[in-house]
Amino acid sequence: MVKRLFDDCRLCEDRGVICVGDADDADFPCPHCNGWCSLCLEQPLAGQSGRPLVGSLLAAARRTAAGLELFEGYLCDFHTAAFNWYVMITPAMIGYLKPGDAYIIVQHIFEAHAFTVLYGYGQAKNSRDLEADAFRAVAAQRHARYGWDGFHVCPPDVASRAMLPDWVIWQFGDMRERRSLPSRARLTMWSIAND
Ligand SMILES: [Zn+2]
Ligand SMILES: [Zn+2]
């Protein structure tokens, strides 16, 4: 394994690992001081002296011959390309949400926006149309966020109107397998119901 980015981390109280939402007792690397890209750890990039890169905490999905695979862990910019779609998540979501489950991200970049996001897939197709309702939902649930600023639960009345992006042309069926990579990232596989 690689060294942590720095010592004296407040998020993990210097342990290098944190607990995540699925209450599996397995530790998960700290997003602040230990967020190395899972795929870099397995297969370092050529030309980077074999050194792993720091990644963002993402839920990423891809279709494989075996079904729909959901990755929950850290990916660098290069390795996000290994997946078809991905979204930013928080540790509290890991293990709880299925691909396509809605949540809300509020961002304050130039102005505030509330995006309705579908787990693993990206923004809802009609995220703009849902924005006013998403802001209202967030205002009503100040304490129900997913542990990090800007990440909020999406209430059922908004989630039920969130439209999948056009390229999601399947429904998935049973969960087939859930496992952890050596990097502690979680991989879950669902069967595809309609093909
Ligand atoms: Zn830490
Ligand atoms: Zn990587």
Q: What is the count of structural domains for the chain?
A: 2
- For ligand 1, the distance from its centroid to the CA atom of residue 90, given in whole angstroms, is 14
pLDDT tier for residue 43 given thresholds of 50, 70 and 90: confident
Residues 44-75 pLDDT 10s: 776 666 788 999 999 999 999 889 999 999 99
Q: Which residue range(s) make up the domain with 155?
A: 102-159
Whether residues 22 and 80 share a domain: the answer is: yes
Ligand 1 center from residue 145 Cα (angstroms): 21
Which of 55, 102, 94 has the alpha carbon at shortest distance from 188? 94
> How remote is the CA of residue 71 from the centroid of ligand 2, in Å?
13
The model's pTM is: 0.93
83 belongs to a structural domain: yes
Greater model confidence, 37 or 27 = 37
Cα(43) to centroid of ligand 2, in Å? Answer: 8
Residue 143 CA to ligand 2 center (angstroms) comes to 34
- The torsion angles phi and psi of 38, rounded to 5 degrees, stand at -60, -40
Q: Is residue 112 part of a domain?
A: yes
Residue 5 has pLDDT above 70, yes or no: yes
Statement: residue 144 has pLDDT above 70: no
Question: Helix H segments across 10-80?
Answer: 38-42
| Distance, CA of 28 to chain centre | 14
